[in-house]
Amino acid sequence: MEIKQVMVIGAGQMGAGIAQVFAQAGLSVKLNDMKQEALDKGLAGIEKRLARAVEKGKMTEEEQKEAFHRLSGTTNIEDASDCDLVIEAVVENMDVKEQVFKRLDEVTPAHAILATNTSSLPITEIAAVTNRPSQVIGMHFMNPVPVMKLVEVIRAIQTSDETYQAIEDMTKQLNKVPVEVNDFPGFVSNRILMPMINEAIYTVYEGVASPEDVDSVMKLGMNHPMGPLTLADFIGLDTCLYIMEVLHEGFGDSKYRPCPLLRQYVKAGWLGKKSGRGFYIYE
């Protein structure tokens, strides 16, 4: 199956980044959002990043113009009626995602593949609300999408080999590296990363070391480019808590219990960089 026309649902940071890499790879992309304001912001962000890529000599002005020309914005989900692939990148909420997939199932052509960029929710459950579960798959991009090479390609229990192969090939066309993952809570990336972050929070909670010192140990001792608590602040502590809860609930194993200090910070509104305060203060 040939994928030519793509739609990305959700013009936030992830959705706009996904739309950008598809446009840069030569595909025609529609970026969709319910709110015109979010759509304008998403497209403006793409334009800015492409302009920066020209300044840095990573693409020519001609390539920049061509990539931006392949992009269009829409607030109407029915514009997916001619798409071969739709990628959903809306809020991490199962009810919202299921509504989006039910609607996409109605409006897209019968051959279209429906993908989700969820970082933790079960793809199998999302696939089950459609009449084409074998054509539903996870494409978990990393943030920031234009920079990060990895895409976790997640097979729901219903995903067909043809669907998987089409998405693996497409991922390579985007100049990304696909990794095949089965549908279990947290997939691979968050199943390994989030408990490490949670354990780093426990070491602060138990008074073993300060956030700065925990981060220094991991950076200088384990060669991590960024300490786990700085990374947690960048991801958003509310997101970290949410994913730990998904892991805890999904596996029913106490080793995934979110640290009480993480809960306390989230309740205080200390969500990390986006709120100005997390384990560190941001001006």
Residues of each annotated binding site for NAD(+): 10-15, 33, 92, 97, 119, 143, 274
The contacts of residue 175 (CB under 8 Å, 6+ apart) are: 21, 25
| Annotated catalytic residue 224 | no
Q: Can you tell me the distance from the alpha carbon of 125 to that of 207, in angstroms, rounded to the nearest whole number?
A: 40
Catalytic residue of the set 140, 182, 210, 245: 140
Give which of 179, 185, 130 is closest to 159, Cα–Cα: 130
| CA-to-CA dists, residue 5 to 53, 99, 112, angstroms | 24, 22, 10
Q: Can you tell me the distance from the alpha carbon of 176 to that of 193, in angstroms, rounded to the nearest whole number?
A: 20
Catalytic residue of the set 32, 119, 120, 198: 119
Q: Provide the 3-class DSSP secondary structure of residue 277.
A: strand
Burial of 66 (0-12, 13-18, 19+ CB in 10 A): middle
Q: Can you tell me the distance from the alpha carbon of 27 to that of 4, in angstroms, rounded to the nearest whole number?
A: 6
Asked if 250 and 185 touch (Cβ cutoff 8 Å), the reply is: yes
Angle at 40 (CA atoms; ends 130, 18), nearest 5 degrees: 50
What's the token pair of residue 258? 């979110």
Catalytic residue of the set 32, 88, 152, 198: 152
Question: Assign residue 10 a region: left if phi > 0, alpha if psi is -120 to 50, beta otherwise?
Answer: left
Catalytic residue of the set 32, 117, 120, 190: 190
Asked if 11 and 91 touch (Cβ cutoff 8 Å), the reply is: no
| Annotated catalytic residue 152 | yes
* Residues of the binding site: 10-15, 33, 92, 97, 119, 143, 274
| Annotated catalytic residue 190 | yes
Active site residues: 119, 140, 152, 190
